[in-house]
Structure 1
Amino acid sequence: MVKELEKELLKQRGNGPTYLELVVVVYVLGFIWEETQEIYIEGIRSYLRNMWNFIDFTRNSLYVAVAVLRFAAYIQQTTEIRRDPQTKFIPRENWDAFDPQLIAEGLFAAANIFSALKLVHLFSINPHLGPLQISLGRMVIDIVKFFFIYSLVLFAFACGLNQLLWYFADLEKRKCYVLPGGLPDWDNAGDSCMKWRSFGKSVLFGHQLC
Protein backbone atom coordinates (compact mmCIF):
# COMPACT_ATOMS: atom_id res chain seq x y z
CA MET A 1 0.00 0.00 0.00
CA VAL A 2 2.79 2.39 0.92
CA LYS A 3 4.75 1.51 -2.21
CA GLU A 4 1.70 2.10 -4.36
CA LEU A 5 1.19 5.50 -2.72
CA GLU A 6 4.84 6.44 -3.24
CA LYS A 7 4.61 5.34 -6.86
CA GLU A 8 1.48 7.44 -7.35
CA LEU A 9 3.23 10.48 -5.89
CA LEU A 10 6.07 10.05 -8.38
CA LYS A 11 3.59 10.19 -11.24
CA GLN A 12 3.97 13.58 -12.89
CA ARG A 13 2.19 13.11 -16.20
CA GLY A 14 -1.33 12.02 -17.01
CA ASN A 15 -2.85 13.32 -13.79
CA GLY A 16 -6.49 14.30 -13.95
CA PRO A 17 -7.90 17.58 -12.64
CA THR A 18 -7.62 18.11 -8.91
CA TYR A 19 -10.46 19.27 -6.66
CA LEU A 20 -8.92 22.74 -6.57
CA GLU A 21 -8.88 22.90 -10.36
CA LEU A 22 -12.55 21.92 -10.46
CA VAL A 23 -13.32 24.72 -8.01
CA VAL A 24 -11.42 27.14 -10.25
CA VAL A 25 -13.50 25.98 -13.23
CA VAL A 26 -16.71 26.84 -11.37
CA TYR A 27 -15.12 30.14 -10.33
CA VAL A 28 -14.29 31.00 -13.95
CA LEU A 29 -17.72 29.99 -15.22
CA GLY A 30 -19.21 32.41 -12.71
CA PHE A 31 -16.95 35.16 -14.03
CA ILE A 32 -17.93 34.45 -17.63
CA TRP A 33 -21.62 34.42 -16.73
CA GLU A 34 -21.23 37.75 -14.92
CA GLU A 35 -19.51 39.39 -17.89
CA THR A 36 -22.09 37.98 -20.30
CA GLN A 37 -24.90 39.46 -18.24
CA GLU A 38 -23.13 42.81 -18.12
CA ILE A 39 -22.78 42.88 -21.91
CA TYR A 40 -26.44 41.91 -22.32
CA ILE A 41 -27.70 44.59 -19.93
CA GLU A 42 -25.37 47.50 -20.76
CA GLY A 43 -24.66 46.75 -24.41
CA ILE A 44 -21.36 46.02 -26.09
CA ARG A 45 -20.46 49.69 -26.65
CA SER A 46 -20.94 50.67 -23.03
CA TYR A 47 -19.08 47.54 -21.98
CA LEU A 48 -16.04 48.41 -24.09
CA ARG A 49 -15.85 51.97 -22.73
CA ASN A 50 -14.81 50.66 -19.32
CA MET A 51 -11.13 49.71 -19.33
CA TRP A 52 -11.61 47.38 -16.38
CA ASN A 53 -13.74 45.19 -18.63
CA PHE A 54 -10.70 44.59 -20.82
CA ILE A 55 -8.91 43.17 -17.79
CA ASP A 56 -11.92 40.97 -17.06
CA PHE A 57 -12.04 39.78 -20.66
CA THR A 58 -8.30 39.03 -20.68
CA ARG A 59 -8.58 37.16 -17.39
CA ASN A 60 -11.48 35.03 -18.62
CA SER A 61 -9.76 34.34 -21.93
CA LEU A 62 -6.63 33.18 -20.13
CA TYR A 63 -8.60 30.88 -17.86
CA VAL A 64 -10.41 29.37 -20.84
CA ALA A 65 -7.08 28.87 -22.62
CA VAL A 66 -5.74 27.16 -19.49
CA ALA A 67 -8.69 24.77 -19.44
CA VAL A 68 -8.27 23.93 -23.13
CA LEU A 69 -4.52 23.38 -22.82
CA ARG A 70 -4.95 21.36 -19.64
CA PHE A 71 -7.44 19.10 -21.40
CA ALA A 72 -5.14 18.78 -24.43
CA ALA A 73 -2.22 17.93 -22.14
CA TYR A 74 -4.25 15.25 -20.39
CA ILE A 75 -5.22 13.63 -23.71
CA GLN A 76 -1.65 13.81 -24.99
CA GLN A 77 -0.11 12.42 -21.82
CA THR A 78 -2.58 9.58 -21.41
CA THR A 79 -1.93 8.58 -25.02
CA GLU A 80 1.81 8.53 -24.35
CA ILE A 81 1.30 6.51 -21.16
CA ARG A 82 -0.72 3.87 -23.04
CA ARG A 83 2.21 3.41 -25.39
CA ASP A 84 4.85 3.46 -22.66
CA PRO A 85 3.71 3.40 -18.99
CA GLN A 86 7.09 4.72 -17.85
CA THR A 87 6.46 8.11 -19.45
CA LYS A 88 4.22 9.10 -16.54
CA PHE A 89 7.33 9.25 -14.33
CA ILE A 90 9.29 11.64 -16.56
CA PRO A 91 10.59 14.51 -14.35
CA ARG A 92 9.30 17.96 -15.16
CA GLU A 93 12.77 19.24 -15.96
CA ASN A 94 12.91 16.76 -18.86
CA TRP A 95 9.59 17.78 -20.39
CA ASP A 96 9.44 19.58 -23.69
CA ALA A 97 9.66 23.35 -23.25
CA PHE A 98 6.34 23.78 -25.10
CA ASP A 99 4.48 21.03 -23.29
CA PRO A 100 0.78 22.02 -23.12
CA GLN A 101 0.70 21.54 -19.37
CA LEU A 102 3.65 23.86 -18.82
CA ILE A 103 2.10 26.50 -21.06
CA ALA A 104 -1.20 26.09 -19.22
CA GLU A 105 0.51 26.64 -15.88
CA GLY A 106 2.17 29.79 -17.19
CA LEU A 107 -1.13 31.16 -18.48
CA PHE A 108 -2.78 30.23 -15.20
CA ALA A 109 -0.22 32.33 -13.33
CA ALA A 110 -0.91 35.26 -15.67
CA ALA A 111 -4.67 34.85 -15.19
CA ASN A 112 -4.21 34.94 -11.42
CA ILE A 113 -2.36 38.24 -11.78
CA PHE A 114 -5.30 39.75 -13.66
CA SER A 115 -7.67 38.38 -11.02
CA ALA A 116 -5.68 40.10 -8.29
CA LEU A 117 -5.61 43.35 -10.28
CA LYS A 118 -9.39 43.41 -10.09
CA LEU A 119 -9.02 44.20 -6.39
CA VAL A 120 -7.53 47.56 -7.35
CA HIS A 121 -10.89 48.51 -8.84
CA LEU A 122 -12.49 48.07 -5.42
CA PHE A 123 -10.15 50.63 -3.90
CA SER A 124 -12.04 53.43 -5.64
CA ILE A 125 -14.80 53.27 -3.01
CA ASN A 126 -12.31 53.66 -0.17
CA PRO A 127 -11.94 57.28 1.06
CA HIS A 128 -8.19 56.83 1.58
CA LEU A 129 -7.17 54.60 -1.32
CA GLY A 130 -9.60 56.01 -3.89
CA PRO A 131 -7.80 59.37 -4.38
CA LEU A 132 -4.46 57.56 -4.55
CA GLN A 133 -5.79 55.31 -7.29
CA ILE A 134 -7.00 58.32 -9.28
CA SER A 135 -3.63 60.06 -8.84
CA LEU A 136 -1.79 56.95 -9.94
CA GLY A 137 -4.00 56.68 -13.00
CA ARG A 138 -3.10 60.23 -14.00
CA MET A 139 0.60 59.51 -13.43
CA VAL A 140 0.81 56.42 -15.63
CA ILE A 141 2.10 58.31 -18.68
CA ASP A 142 4.78 60.05 -16.60
CA ILE A 143 5.80 56.73 -15.06
CA VAL A 144 6.17 55.20 -18.52
CA LYS A 145 8.37 58.12 -19.62
CA PHE A 146 10.56 57.74 -16.55
CA PHE A 147 10.80 53.99 -17.07
CA PHE A 148 11.89 54.56 -20.68
CA ILE A 149 14.76 56.80 -19.54
CA TYR A 150 15.66 54.32 -16.81
CA SER A 151 15.71 51.49 -19.36
CA LEU A 152 18.10 53.41 -21.61
CA VAL A 153 20.52 54.00 -18.72
CA LEU A 154 20.26 50.37 -17.63
CA PHE A 155 20.83 49.17 -21.19
CA ALA A 156 23.95 51.33 -21.48
CA PHE A 157 25.48 49.84 -18.33
CA ALA A 158 24.41 46.35 -19.39
CA CYS A 159 26.27 46.72 -22.68
CA GLY A 160 29.41 47.68 -20.79
CA LEU A 161 29.15 44.67 -18.50
CA ASN A 162 28.47 42.39 -21.45
CA GLN A 163 31.71 43.45 -23.09
CA LEU A 164 33.56 42.49 -19.92
CA LEU A 165 31.80 39.24 -18.99
CA TRP A 166 30.72 37.55 -22.24
CA TYR A 167 33.81 35.32 -22.37
CA PHE A 168 33.36 34.11 -18.80
CA ALA A 169 29.67 33.42 -19.40
CA ASP A 170 30.56 31.11 -22.27
CA LEU A 171 33.25 29.51 -20.09
CA GLU A 172 30.73 28.75 -17.33
CA LYS A 173 28.42 27.24 -19.94
CA ARG A 174 31.12 24.86 -21.15
CA LYS A 175 31.90 23.85 -17.57
CA CYS A 176 28.24 23.13 -16.87
CA TYR A 177 27.11 21.19 -19.96
CA VAL A 178 29.63 18.34 -19.93
CA LEU A 179 27.39 15.28 -19.64
CA PRO A 180 26.52 13.14 -22.67
CA GLY A 181 23.69 14.57 -24.70
CA GLY A 182 24.53 18.13 -23.70
CA LEU A 183 23.02 17.81 -20.23
CA PRO A 184 24.14 19.97 -17.28
CA ASP A 185 26.30 18.38 -14.58
CA TRP A 186 24.68 19.75 -11.43
CA ASP A 187 26.53 17.32 -9.16
CA ASN A 188 30.09 18.27 -10.07
CA ALA A 189 29.62 21.69 -11.67
CA GLY A 190 26.63 23.04 -9.77
CA ASP A 191 28.25 26.43 -9.19
CA SER A 192 28.93 26.94 -12.89
CA CYS A 193 25.43 25.78 -13.81
CA MET A 194 23.89 28.18 -11.32
CA LYS A 195 25.95 31.09 -12.65
CA TRP A 196 25.05 30.21 -16.22
CA ARG A 197 21.35 29.84 -15.45
CA SER A 198 21.25 33.08 -13.43
CA PHE A 199 23.46 35.39 -15.49
CA GLY A 200 25.12 33.65 -18.40
CA LYS A 201 22.17 33.51 -20.79
CA SER A 202 21.40 37.19 -20.38
CA VAL A 203 25.06 38.10 -20.80
CA LEU A 204 25.45 36.21 -24.07
CA PHE A 205 22.14 37.53 -25.35
CA GLY A 206 23.19 41.05 -24.45
CA HIS A 207 26.52 40.50 -26.16
CA GLN A 208 24.68 39.79 -29.40
CA LEU A 209 22.64 42.98 -29.01
CA CYS A 210 25.53 45.21 -28.03
Structure 2
Amino acid sequence: GMIWSECKEIWSQGPKEYLFELWNMLDFGMLAIFAASFIARFMAFWHASRAQNFVDTHMKDLTSPTLDPSIKYYTLARINWDPSDPQIISEGLYAIAVVLSFSRIAYILPANESFGPLQISLGRTVKDIFKFMVIFIMVFVAFMIGMFNLYSYYLGAKQNEAFTTVEESFKTLFWAIFGLSEVKSVVINYKHKFIENIGYVLYGVYNVTMVIVLLNMLIAMINSSFQEIE
Protein backbone atom coordinates (compact mmCIF):
# COMPACT_ATOMS: atom_id res chain seq x y z
CA GLY A 1 0.00 0.00 0.00
CA MET A 2 2.74 2.46 0.90
CA ILE A 3 4.69 1.57 -2.22
CA TRP A 4 1.64 2.26 -4.38
CA SER A 5 1.07 5.53 -2.53
CA GLU A 6 4.66 6.64 -3.17
CA CYS A 7 4.38 5.67 -6.84
CA LYS A 8 1.25 7.81 -7.21
CA GLU A 9 3.00 10.70 -5.47
CA ILE A 10 5.96 10.46 -7.84
CA TRP A 11 3.56 10.39 -10.79
CA SER A 12 1.57 13.39 -9.59
CA GLN A 13 4.48 15.57 -8.42
CA GLY A 14 7.15 14.50 -10.87
CA PRO A 15 10.52 12.97 -9.91
CA LYS A 16 12.30 16.30 -9.45
CA GLU A 17 9.64 17.78 -7.17
CA TYR A 18 9.36 14.51 -5.26
CA LEU A 19 13.08 14.27 -4.53
CA PHE A 20 13.27 17.79 -3.10
CA GLU A 21 11.09 16.77 -0.12
CA LEU A 22 13.09 15.24 2.76
CA TRP A 23 10.22 13.09 4.01
CA ASN A 24 9.75 11.64 0.53
CA MET A 25 13.40 10.63 0.45
CA LEU A 26 13.01 9.00 3.85
CA ASP A 27 9.92 7.08 2.73
CA PHE A 28 11.55 6.01 -0.51
CA GLY A 29 14.70 4.80 1.25
CA MET A 30 12.71 2.94 3.89
CA LEU A 31 10.51 1.18 1.32
CA ALA A 32 13.48 0.36 -0.92
CA ILE A 33 15.35 -1.26 1.96
CA PHE A 34 12.25 -3.19 3.04
CA ALA A 35 11.80 -4.41 -0.55
CA ALA A 36 15.47 -5.46 -0.80
CA SER A 37 15.15 -7.28 2.53
CA PHE A 38 12.07 -9.21 1.38
CA ILE A 39 13.73 -10.09 -1.94
CA ALA A 40 16.82 -11.41 -0.13
CA ARG A 41 14.60 -13.40 2.23
CA PHE A 42 12.69 -14.86 -0.71
CA MET A 43 16.01 -15.88 -2.29
CA ALA A 44 17.03 -17.61 0.95
CA PHE A 45 13.69 -19.41 1.05
CA TRP A 46 14.09 -20.44 -2.58
CA HIS A 47 17.59 -21.83 -1.95
CA ALA A 48 16.39 -23.71 1.12
CA SER A 49 13.43 -25.17 -0.78
CA ARG A 50 15.72 -26.21 -3.60
CA ALA A 51 18.04 -27.95 -1.14
CA GLN A 52 15.12 -29.72 0.54
CA ASN A 53 13.75 -30.91 -2.80
CA PHE A 54 17.19 -32.16 -3.82
CA VAL A 55 17.49 -34.16 -0.62
CA ASP A 56 13.97 -35.56 -0.90
CA THR A 57 14.36 -36.74 -4.49
CA HIS A 58 18.02 -37.63 -5.02
CA MET A 59 20.11 -38.05 -1.94
CA LYS A 60 20.63 -40.63 0.73
CA ASP A 61 24.26 -39.73 1.51
CA LEU A 62 24.76 -36.09 2.52
CA THR A 63 28.56 -36.51 2.67
CA SER A 64 29.06 -37.11 -1.06
CA PRO A 65 31.58 -34.71 -2.68
CA THR A 66 29.32 -34.39 -5.74
CA LEU A 67 26.46 -32.74 -3.90
CA ASP A 68 24.60 -29.84 -5.44
CA PRO A 69 25.97 -26.51 -4.05
CA SER A 70 22.53 -25.63 -2.73
CA ILE A 71 22.71 -28.54 -0.28
CA LYS A 72 24.59 -26.31 2.16
CA TYR A 73 21.24 -24.66 2.97
CA TYR A 74 20.17 -28.03 4.30
CA THR A 75 23.30 -29.22 6.12
CA LEU A 76 25.14 -26.15 7.44
CA ALA A 77 24.44 -24.59 10.81
CA ARG A 78 23.99 -20.80 10.94
CA ILE A 79 27.48 -20.32 12.35
CA ASN A 80 28.91 -21.72 9.10
CA TRP A 81 26.80 -19.68 6.67
CA ASP A 82 28.53 -17.47 4.09
CA PRO A 83 28.77 -13.77 5.09
CA SER A 84 26.84 -12.95 1.90
CA ASP A 85 24.04 -15.42 2.61
CA PRO A 86 20.68 -13.91 1.52
CA GLN A 87 19.12 -14.61 4.92
CA ILE A 88 21.87 -12.68 6.72
CA ILE A 89 21.62 -9.80 4.28
CA SER A 90 17.84 -9.79 4.64
CA GLU A 91 18.03 -9.57 8.43
CA GLY A 92 20.54 -6.70 8.30
CA LEU A 93 18.49 -4.70 5.81
CA TYR A 94 15.30 -5.34 7.75
CA ALA A 95 16.89 -3.95 10.93
CA ILE A 96 17.86 -0.74 9.11
CA ALA A 97 14.39 -0.40 7.59
CA VAL A 98 12.71 -0.80 10.99
CA VAL A 99 14.80 2.05 12.40
CA LEU A 100 13.87 4.27 9.44
CA SER A 101 10.19 3.40 9.81
CA PHE A 102 10.17 4.60 13.42
CA SER A 103 11.90 7.84 12.42
CA ARG A 104 8.78 8.59 10.37
CA ILE A 105 7.10 9.51 13.66
CA ALA A 106 9.19 12.70 13.58
CA TYR A 107 6.80 13.97 10.88
CA ILE A 108 4.16 14.78 13.51
CA LEU A 109 6.47 15.98 16.31
CA PRO A 110 6.48 19.70 15.34
CA ALA A 111 2.82 19.85 16.41
CA ASN A 112 3.79 18.92 19.99
CA GLU A 113 4.71 21.85 22.25
CA SER A 114 7.36 19.83 24.08
CA PHE A 115 9.07 17.94 21.26
CA GLY A 116 8.38 20.38 18.43
CA PRO A 117 11.02 22.97 19.39
CA LEU A 118 13.61 20.21 19.78
CA GLN A 119 13.04 18.93 16.26
CA ILE A 120 12.88 22.40 14.74
CA SER A 121 16.12 23.40 16.45
CA LEU A 122 17.80 20.27 15.13
CA GLY A 123 16.52 20.99 11.64
CA ARG A 124 17.86 24.54 11.72
CA THR A 125 21.27 23.41 12.89
CA VAL A 126 21.68 20.87 10.09
CA LYS A 127 23.73 23.31 8.00
CA ASP A 128 25.93 24.14 10.98
CA ILE A 129 26.31 20.44 11.72
CA PHE A 130 27.45 19.82 8.14
CA LYS A 131 30.06 22.56 8.51
CA PHE A 132 31.16 20.99 11.76
CA MET A 133 31.31 17.54 10.16
CA VAL A 134 33.78 18.79 7.55
CA ILE A 135 36.22 19.75 10.30
CA PHE A 136 35.36 16.64 12.27
CA ILE A 137 36.04 14.31 9.34
CA MET A 138 39.29 16.08 8.44
CA VAL A 139 40.63 15.65 11.97
CA PHE A 140 39.37 12.08 12.22
CA VAL A 141 40.90 10.98 8.89
CA ALA A 142 44.19 12.68 9.68
CA PHE A 143 44.60 10.78 12.96
CA MET A 144 43.27 7.54 11.47
CA ILE A 145 45.87 7.54 8.69
CA GLY A 146 48.62 8.69 11.03
CA MET A 147 47.97 5.97 13.61
CA PHE A 148 47.63 3.32 10.90
CA ASN A 149 50.97 4.28 9.37
CA LEU A 150 52.55 4.17 12.81
CA TYR A 151 51.27 0.72 13.81
CA SER A 152 50.67 -1.10 10.51
CA TYR A 153 54.05 -2.87 10.86
CA TYR A 154 53.12 -4.29 14.27
CA LEU A 155 50.28 -6.62 13.27
CA GLY A 156 50.43 -9.51 15.75
CA ALA A 157 52.87 -7.64 17.99
CA LYS A 158 50.28 -5.73 20.05
CA GLN A 159 47.94 -6.60 22.90
CA ASN A 160 45.06 -5.98 20.48
CA GLU A 161 44.69 -5.24 16.77
CA ALA A 162 43.98 -1.52 17.18
CA PHE A 163 45.54 0.64 14.44
CA THR A 164 47.12 -2.34 12.65
CA THR A 165 44.63 -2.05 9.76
CA VAL A 166 42.58 0.81 8.36
CA GLU A 167 39.40 -0.85 9.60
CA GLU A 168 40.75 -1.31 13.12
CA SER A 169 42.05 2.27 13.13
CA PHE A 170 38.60 3.55 12.20
CA LYS A 171 36.84 1.47 14.85
CA THR A 172 39.31 2.36 17.60
CA LEU A 173 39.19 6.11 16.97
CA PHE A 174 35.42 6.14 16.46
CA TRP A 175 34.66 4.38 19.74
CA ALA A 176 37.28 6.51 21.50
CA ILE A 177 34.86 9.43 21.03
CA PHE A 178 32.48 7.64 23.40
CA GLY A 179 35.21 6.54 25.80
CA LEU A 180 35.07 2.90 24.73
CA SER A 181 38.65 2.46 23.48
CA GLU A 182 41.47 1.50 25.80
CA VAL A 183 44.77 3.29 26.35
CA LYS A 184 46.62 0.00 25.83
CA SER A 185 45.65 0.25 22.17
CA VAL A 186 48.96 2.05 21.60
CA VAL A 187 51.10 -0.45 23.54
CA ILE A 188 53.32 -2.81 21.52
CA ASN A 189 55.13 -5.93 22.70
CA TYR A 190 58.51 -4.86 21.29
CA LYS A 191 60.90 -2.48 23.02
CA HIS A 192 60.20 0.27 20.50
CA LYS A 193 59.51 2.96 23.07
CA PHE A 194 59.84 5.79 20.57
CA ILE A 195 56.95 4.44 18.48
CA GLU A 196 54.92 3.73 21.61
CA ASN A 197 55.49 7.23 23.01
CA ILE A 198 54.51 8.80 19.68
CA GLY A 199 51.36 6.68 19.81
CA TYR A 200 50.55 7.91 23.32
CA VAL A 201 51.01 11.53 22.26
CA LEU A 202 48.92 11.24 19.09
CA TYR A 203 46.18 9.31 20.86
CA GLY A 204 46.08 11.88 23.66
CA VAL A 205 45.97 14.82 21.27
CA TYR A 206 43.17 13.10 19.33
CA ASN A 207 41.06 12.62 22.45
CA VAL A 208 41.59 16.22 23.58
CA THR A 209 40.78 17.60 20.12
CA MET A 210 37.75 15.44 19.37
CA VAL A 211 36.16 14.86 22.75
CA ILE A 212 36.93 18.03 24.67
CA VAL A 213 37.05 20.65 21.90
CA LEU A 214 35.00 19.60 18.87
CA LEU A 215 32.17 17.74 20.61
CA ASN A 216 31.67 20.58 23.07
CA MET A 217 31.61 23.02 20.15
CA LEU A 218 28.85 20.96 18.56
CA ILE A 219 26.85 20.88 21.80
CA ALA A 220 27.21 24.66 22.12
CA MET A 221 26.00 25.18 18.54
CA ILE A 222 22.90 23.04 19.06
CA ASN A 223 22.14 24.71 22.41
CA SER A 224 22.43 28.18 20.86
CA SER A 225 20.01 27.25 18.09
CA PHE A 226 17.51 25.84 20.60
CA GLN A 227 17.67 28.99 22.71
CA GLU A 228 16.91 31.12 19.64
CA ILE A 229 13.81 29.06 18.83
CA GLU A 230 12.51 29.23 22.41
- TM bin, normalised by shorter chain, reads 0.5 to 0.7
TM-score, normalised with respect to structure 2: 0.55
The answer (yes or no) to whether the contact 1:169–1:203 under 8 Å persists in 2 is: no
Contact persistence 2:44–2:86 (CA under 8 A): yes
What residue identity is the alignment partner of 1:132?
Answer: L
Q: Give runs of aligned pairs for residues 50-89 of structure 1, distance below 5 A.
A: 50-81=21-52, 82-83=54-55, 84=62, 87-89=73-75
Query: Which one-letter code corresponds to 1:53 in the other structure?
Result: N
Using a 3 Å threshold, how does the CA distance of structure 1 residues 201 and 102 change in structure 2: closer, same or farther? farther
Match of 1:126 among 101, 104, 112: 112
Contact 2:109-2:115 at 8 Å conserved across structures: yes
Does the CA-based 8 Å contact 1:63-1:108 persist in structure 2?
yes
User: What one-letter code is carried by the residue in structure 2 that aligns with 1:103?
Assistant: I
Gaps of at least 5 residues in structure 2 are: 56-61, 63-70, 171-230
Q: State the Cα distance separating 1:171 from its structure 2 match.
A: 4.7
Figure out how many residues of one structure are paired with residues of the other and give that number: 153
Q: Higher helix fraction: Structure 1 or Structure 2? A: 1
Q: CA deviation at 1:164?
A: 3.0
Structure 1 residue 79 displacement after superposition: 1.9
Could you list the runs of 5+ residues in structure 1 that have no partner in the other structure? 1-28, 173-191
Contact kept? 2:155, 2:164, Cα under 8 Å: yes
For the residue of structure 1 that corresponds to 2:108, the secondary structure is helix
Show the counterpart of 1:90.
Answer: 76
The offset of 1:89, in angstroms, is 4.5
**Structure number with bigger Rg:** 2
Structure 1 residues 120 and 169: CA distance shift in structure 2, 3 A: farther
Matched, 1:139 2:108: no
Deviates more, 1:141-150 or 1:130-139: 130-139
Contact 2:148 2:163 in 1 (8 A): no
* One-letter amino acid matched to 1:110: I
Instruction: Determine the C-alpha separation between the residues in 1 that align with 2:77 and 2:96.
Output: 24
Distance in 2 between residues matched to 1:121 and 1:150, nearest whole Å = 29
C-alpha separation in 2, matches of 1:73 and 1:87: 8
CA contact (8 A) 1:170 1:204 kept: no
CA distance, structure 2, for counterparts of residue 104 and residue 135 of structure 1:
35
What amino acid maps onto 1:91 in structure 2? A
Structure 1 distance, partners of 2:36, 2:131, is 33
1:44 paired to 2:13: yes
Alpha carbons of 1:124 and 1:89: their partners in 2 closer, same or farther (altered >3 Å)?
A: farther
Query: Are residues 1:168 and 2:139 paired?
Result: no
Query: CA distance change for structure 1 residues 34 and 203 in 2, over 3 Å: closer, same or farther?
Result: closer
